Structure 1
Amino acid sequence: MRILLVALNAKYVHTNLAIRYLRESIRGEFPDVDLREFTINEPIERIAAEIYEVKADVIGFSCYIWNLKETLAVIRQLRPTSPHTRILVGGPEVSFEAEAFLRENPEIDGAVLGEGEITFLELMRAWESGSEPSQVQGLAWRSSTQKIVLNPPRQQIAMAKLPNPYNPKEELQGRLAYVETTRGCPFNCQYCLSSTFQGVRYLPAERFREILRQTLQCGARTIKLVDRTFNVNKEHSFKILDIAREEAAHYPPGAGIRIHCEIAGELLDEDWLHYLQDYPKDLVQFEIGVQSTNPETLAIICRPQHFERWAKYVREIRSMNKAHLHLDLIAGLPKEGWESFRGSFNEVYAVQPDMLQLGFLKVLKGSGL
C-alpha cells in the first residue's frame, strides 16, 4: 500500500512535524510511505498534479487554521481524478466537530482526531486488511454505506514511545526544524487548544539529544521547540538547555545555532537568572506570551498573571545580553478596547524586548472562546 503524507506550510522554511511523526510511526510496517511539503502560496493545480503523480493508495493531509482552505481546494482537485484513493485529514483544525466537517466535505474518507501516531498506524492496518476501522480509537470515518461514524477518543500517548521524527536524514539547511519536548500545558487559556486537555507529558532528555543532534547534522540551525510552556518544569527545562549547549559546542561559534522556546513569564524566578548567567550568548531565544495586561481581559481568558511582578525578570535577562527576548500581545481579546490595548502595549514596550510581536485573535475550533 502506497501512502503519501502532505503538508501545505505557510512558508518554504517551515517544516511539518506532524507528518514526520506519522511517517516514522508506520514505516516499520508500511515502508512505502513518503512526504510532500508545499506552501499555501503555490498554485493549487500544481500541488494537486504533483500529488496525483505519486499514485498513492492513501493520502493524508495535515490541517491547520492557516492552510485548511488551500488543503480542501487541493482535495477537491484530486478527488475526480483519484476516485479510489482514500483521503484522510488530521490536525487541530479538523479534530473538533468532525462529523459536521465530514458531512460538509464528502471528498474526505476520514479524520484523525487528536494525537495520531497510534491511530494512523491502526487505520493503515485496517485498510490494508480490507476491514472497516470500527475499532480504531480517535477516528471519524465514512463507512462503505457513506455513514459517518465517530469512534471513541484515544488516550494520550507517552512521549517516550514516540519515534524520532527526523529519521531518515533529510536536508534541513535553510529551514526551521520543529521539535517538542513536552505535550500539554499547565494553563487553561481560553483562546488556545491546550485548554481542551489537562496535564503535561515530557520527552526524556536524552531522546531530545538524539533528535537535536540529527537536525543539526542535517543542516538546521534554528530549532523551534513547540512546547506550549517550555519552562513549566525547571528541572526538565534546564536539562534540555544543557543538552542544547553541549550539542552546539560541537560547531563553530559562528554557526548561528539558536533554540527558540516559548515560556511563561510568571514562571521566571531567581533560579532562571542564575542559570542564564553562564549560558552561551545568543544560543537561546525566549518568546513570552503576555497577550494582555488588562486584569478584566485576563480573567475572561483564564490567563492569570501579574505582569508587573515578573517584568523585572525580563529586564534582568535583557541586561545580561544572553538571550533574544520576544514578547507577544494579542489584539481582539474580550474587553480589550483601544484604550486597554494601548495600556498593554505601553507596559510591554517599556520592558524593551528585542521584539514586540502583535498577533490578532484567531478563534480556534475547540477553544473556549
Structure 2
Amino acid sequence: MTILLSTLNARYTHASLGLRYLYANMAELQPQTQLMEFVIGAKTADVVERLLEKQPRIVGFGVYIWNVEETTRVVAMLKRVAPQVRIVLGGPEVSYEPGEQPIVQLADFLVTGWGDVTFPALCRQILHGPQPLMKIHAGVQPRLEEIRLPYASYSDEDIAHRTLYVEASRGCPFKCEFCLSSLDKTAWPFDLDQFLAALEGLHARGARLFKFVDRTFNLNIRASLRIMQFFLDKLEAHPDDPVFAHFEVVPDHLPEALKEAISRFPPGTLQFEIGIQSFNPAVQATISRKQDNEKSADNIRWLRMHSHAHLHVDLIAGLPGEDLESFARGFDRLVALAPHEIQFGILKRLRGTPIIRHTEAYGMVFDPAPPYTVLATDRIDFNTMQRLQRFARYWDLVANSGRFAHTLPVLLADAPFANFLALSDWLYRNTDATHRIALDRLAALVGEWLCERGLNAAQARALVESDYAGQAHRLHRKPKPAPAEAAPRRQARHLAA
C-alpha cells in the first residue's frame, strides 16, 4: 500500500471516525490507501514493524491528547529505520501550538484542522509532484455536501465488535473556553436524508450501537426528531434485536416534542451525555458558558422521572474562579438529581483552547505533559487537587461502577461531596492506591468505613453484601482477557472528541 492511515486508539472497541473520513475522501488514491489502527500500550517496535510490512510511501497519523506521547515514539522510530517514508500528522493535538511539539519536529508534514480535502491533496503532491514546499498545511474547510460520508468504510469486524461513531453535524455554536469546539463559528449540519440513508446501510449490515459525536445533538430539534424517529422505527420493527444510541445534549434545551420522543424509547436503548460542568453562574460567565441552571436541573429531573434514558452527566473541577466549596455545592446538587453516572473530571488545558487566557489571573498551573491536567489554581491548591483526582477515581470504582447501588446512598447520606471525599481520603490512606484494587478488597474496605462512621458491624456487612452478592460469583474465577467482542463502555470524556 502506498498510503497508510493510522492512529493509536484508547481501546480496541474505539474506531477512528477521522481516519475513515480521510479514507472515504481519497478519491483516485483510495485503492492504494489502507487503514491500520492500533491501541495505546502496544510496543513501539511492533507498531513500526507492522506499518513497514506494507512498504508505504506515506503514513498519516491521527494525533490526539491520549496518544501523542506514544505516537511520538512511533514517529521517531519510523524516521530512524525508514527515513524515506513521508510522515503526515493531523488531529486536534497537533493542530494548535505545533512549534513546541517534538512530534511535529520529527514529522515531514502537518495538516491542521479539517483534513478531508487537504490531506488527499497533499498526498497527490508528495506522490506526483510538484513537491510541497511548506511543512504546515492549514486544512481547507469545504462545504459538508462536498465531503463523502465515511460509514461504508466501517468493516464487518468494526460493526461486530466496535463502537460506531457517527455525526449528523460538525461544529458547535457555543464558546465554552475549555473545549476546542469553542473555536468553531457555528454548527454545520450534514444533509439529513443522506445521513439517514448511511445509518440505514449500517443497520442493514448489523450495526446496533451508534455513538453520535455531535456537540449539540438537540440544537436543531427538527433534525433531532427525525434521527430519533429513525431509531424508534428500528426498535418497533426489531424489538428482539434493539439498537442503542448515544447522544450529547444541551441540558437546558428540551422542548415538549423532544420529550415526547424520548419517552418512547424502552430501557437500555438510549443514553444521554449531559455537560453541566459547573452550577456556579460566575464561573460559567468566566469561561463563556451559557447555561440556564434551573432549566438544566428541571430537564435532568424530568429525564429521570419520565424516561428510560441512561444519563451520564459531566462536572469539571478546577475551573477558573471555582473553589472547593462551590464545586461541592454543585456536586451535591447534581447528586440530588440522581443521574445514573456523574463523570467527575479535572480540567485539562487542551491545546488551542481559550482557557489559557485565565492562567495568570486565576493562578492556574497545568501539568506540562498530556493530558495537561490542572495541578492548582488560586482557589484550589496542589494537595487538594490531588485529593480531587483520587476522589474521581474512587467515584468511578464505587459509584459509577454500579456495584454499590444499595450502599452508596448510605455512604453519601446528607452531605454527598463531603462524605465521599472523607471516604476517598481514608481509602487512600489504607491502600496507597487508586488502581488495581480487587473488588473483594474494595467491598471489605467500604464495609470497614461504614463501621468507622457508626454503623454496627452486622448492619455494615449486610448492606455491603446486598451489593457484593451480585458480584461474588465472578470473584473467584480466573480473570480472562477482555474479548474483542466485549461491549464497549462509554469513553471517559472525551478525550476522543
The separation in 1 between residues aligned to 2:47 and 2:353, in whole angstroms, is: 31
Structure 1 residues 161 and 76, CA, compared in 2 at 3 Å: closer, same or farther? same
The separation in 1 between residues aligned to 2:192 and 2:106, in whole angstroms, is: 42
The separation in 1 between residues aligned to 2:170 and 2:340, in whole angstroms, is: 27
Q: Which moved more, 1:71-80 or 1:211-220?
A: 211-220
CA contact (8 A) 1:22 1:117 kept: yes
1:123 maps onto 2:110 in alignment: no
CA contact (8 A) 1:331 1:359 kept: yes
Q: Which moved more, 1:39-48 or 1:177-186?
A: 39-48
2:341 matched to which residue of 1? 355
1:321 matched to which residue of 2? 307
Structure 1 residues 273 and 342, CA, compared in 2 at 3 Å: closer, same or farther? same
For 1:213, the aligned partner's letter is E
Which structure has more helix as a fraction of its residues?
2
1:202 maps onto 2:189 in alignment: yes
Give the alignment of 1:23-102 within 5 angstroms. 23-101=23-101
1:146 matched to which residue of 2? none
- In the TM superposition, residue 48 of structure 1 has moved relative to its aligned partner by 1.5
The separation in 1 between residues aligned to 2:234 and 2:242, in whole angstroms, is: 13
1:184 maps onto 2:171 in alignment: yes
The separation in 2 between residues aligned to 1:74 and 1:217, in whole angstroms, is: 38
Give the alignment of 1:290-301 within 5 angstroms. 290-301=276-287
- In the TM superposition, residue 127 of structure 1 has moved relative to its aligned partner by 1.4
2:144 matched to which residue of 1? 159
1:333 maps onto 2:325 in alignment: no
The separation in 1 between residues aligned to 2:354 and 2:120, in whole angstroms, is: 31
Structure 1 residues 21 and 249, CA, compared in 2 at 3 Å: closer, same or farther? farther
Which structure has more strand as a fraction of its residues?
1
- In the TM superposition, residue 41 of structure 1 has moved relative to its aligned partner by 1.7
Residues 165-184 of structure 1: CA distance to partner in whole angstroms, max 9, x if unpaired? 13245122121110111111
Choose from 271, 284, 296 the match for 1:310. Answer: 296
CA contact (8 A) 1:94 1:113 kept: yes
Q: Which moved more, 1:354-363 or 1:25-34?
A: 25-34
The separation in 2 between residues aligned to 1:199 and 1:168, in whole angstroms, is: 27
The structure with higher relative contact order (CA 8 Å, sep 6+) is: 1
Choose from 200, 218, 232 the match for 1:245. Answer: 232
Residues 247-293 of structure 1: CA distance to partner in whole angstroms, max 9, x if unpaired? 44453x24352110001111123332233233444332111000010
Q: Which runs of 5+ in 2 are unaligned?
A: 356-497
CA contact (8 A) 1:192 1:367 kept: yes
SS of the aligned residue for 2:110 comes to strand
CA contact (8 A) 1:176 1:220 kept: no
CA contact (8 A) 1:213 1:247 kept: no
Choose from 344, 353, 359 the match for 1:367. Answer: 353
SS of the aligned residue for 1:347 comes to helix
Structure 1 residues 154 and 2, CA, compared in 2 at 3 Å: closer, same or farther? closer
SS of the aligned residue for 1:362 comes to coil
What percentage of aligned pairs have identical amino acids? 37
The separation in 2 between residues aligned to 1:194 and 1:98, in whole angstroms, is: 18
1:133 matched to which residue of 2? 132
CA contact (8 A) 1:174 1:220 kept: no
Calculate the aligned-residue CA RMSD, in Å: 1.9
Residues 78-97 of structure 1: CA distance to partner in whole angstroms, max 9, x if unpaired? 11111111001100111112
Structure 1 residues 105 and 169, CA, compared in 2 at 3 Å: closer, same or farther? closer
1:221 maps onto 2:220 in alignment: no
SS of the aligned residue for 1:28 comes to helix
Q: Aligned pairs, how many?
A: 353
The separation in 1 between residues aligned to 2:129 and 2:71, in whole angstroms, is: 27
Structure 1 residues 155 and 7, CA, compared in 2 at 3 Å: closer, same or farther? closer
CA contact (8 A) 1:186 1:232 kept: no
1:283 matched to which residue of 2? 269
Q: Which moved more, 1:41-50 or 1:13-22?
A: 41-50
- In the TM superposition, residue 232 of structure 1 has moved relative to its aligned partner by 1.0
1:232 maps onto 2:184 in alignment: no
- In the TM superposition, residue 245 of structure 1 has moved relative to its aligned partner by 2.3
Q: Which runs of 5+ in 1 are unaligned?
A: 135-140, 143-149
The separation in 2 between residues aligned to 1:132 and 1:24, in whole angstroms, is: 24
The separation in 2 between residues aligned to 1:163 and 1:307, in whole angstroms, is: 39
The separation in 2 between residues aligned to 1:168 and 1:294, in whole angstroms, is: 43
1:266 maps onto 2:252 in alignment: yes
The separation in 2 between residues aligned to 1:92 and 1:353, in whole angstroms, is: 30
CA contact (8 A) 1:175 1:220 kept: no
SS of the aligned residue for 2:60 comes to strand
Structure 1 residues 90 and 249, CA, compared in 2 at 3 Å: closer, same or farther? farther
- In the TM superposition, residue 160 of structure 1 has moved relative to its aligned partner by 2.4
For 1:298, the aligned partner's letter is Q
1:106 matched to which residue of 2? 105
Q: Which moved more, 1:8-17 or 1:279-288?
A: 279-288
1:137 matched to which residue of 2? none
The separation in 1 between residues aligned to 2:302 and 2:132, in whole angstroms, is: 55
- In the TM superposition, residue 76 of structure 1 has moved relative to its aligned partner by 0.9
